[in-house]
Amino acid sequence: MGNVLIRWDPEYIISHYSDDKDERKMLLNAIIRHPDWLENDGGFIDENILLSRVKTRLDVKYHTLAANIIDTFDRWMFAFDSIDAALAELKKRGYGLYVLSNSCPRFRGKIEAQTFSEYLDGIVISSEEKMLKPDVKLFDLAVGRFGIDRKETVFIDDIKENVEGAIKAGLGGILYNGQTETPDALVRKITEYGGNI
């Protein structure tokens, strides 16, 4: 989902919480870029534990700000322009469209609130399953849950390791980043490849 359907840009997100370059870097490293963030995305810890761990890395004067970032960061994540039209075109061509996202529990609601959600046939959120991409078991879970044929399915992600995980699970894989490529390019890559997404 991140950088395929919705922009995921930690620097942009943090820029809404501080004007100071060094402070932004410190907050990024202590919160979003720290391994604990992925632990939360994997459902291994909840946001309360995430915040408590973050506080151990920050001066007390940043504790309220850290809580605010964790609570509101997704306000600064937006669907890419024209992604609705791209998904509509793919549905028109007969593709099944699914989301498999490394994200915290609130993201199911974020995805379902997007206008593009009407084109989706299914959603798997990593934190709900206590697994993370590129774990082959997470791809296996999605394939089994939705009755997808691996040989007719291609997985799209902006992270090479996740694409490699999908390939290990017997799916096709496409590397794509919506921050540097257009939704039209996404449609072209998919139609050239074939299969579900």
Tell me the per-residue pLDDT of 135-171, one tens digit each, with 9 for 90 and over: 999 999 999 999 999 999 999 999 999 999 999 999 9
Residue 2 lies in a domain: no
Q: Give yes or no: residues 67 and 152 share one domain.
A: no
Q: Are 28 and 11 in contact (CB under 8 A)?
A: yes
> Of the residues 76, 99, 128, which one is the last residue of a structural domain?
76
Query: What is the domain count for the chain?
Result: 2
The answer on pLDDT for 176 being more than 70 is yes
Please state the length of the chain: 197
Residue 185 lies in a domain: yes
Q: Which residues contact 23 (CB under 8 A, 6 or more apart)?
A: none
Joined tokens for residue 188: 């072209």
Residue 3 lies in a domain: no
Q: Give yes or no: residues 145 and 64 share one domain.
A: no
Instruction: Report the alpha-carbon angle 72-74-75, nearest 5.
Output: 75
Residue range(s) defining the domain that contains residue 15: 10-76
Residue 95 lies in a domain: yes
| pLDDT one-digit tens code per residue, 38-94 | 999 999 999 999 999 999 999 999 999 999 999 999 999 999 999 999 999 999 999
Joined tokens for residue 40: 């939360």
Residue 4 lies in a domain: no
Q: Give yes or no: residues 97 and 182 share one domain.
A: yes
Q: What is the pTM of this model?
A: 0.92
Q: Are 38 and 132 in contact (CB under 8 A)?
A: yes
Q: Give yes or no: residues 105 and 158 share one domain.
A: yes
| pLDDT one-digit tens code per residue, 101-121 | 999 988 999 999 999 999 999
> Of the residues 76, 102, 118, which one is the last residue of a structural domain?
76
Q: Give yes or no: residues 132 and 176 share one domain.
A: yes
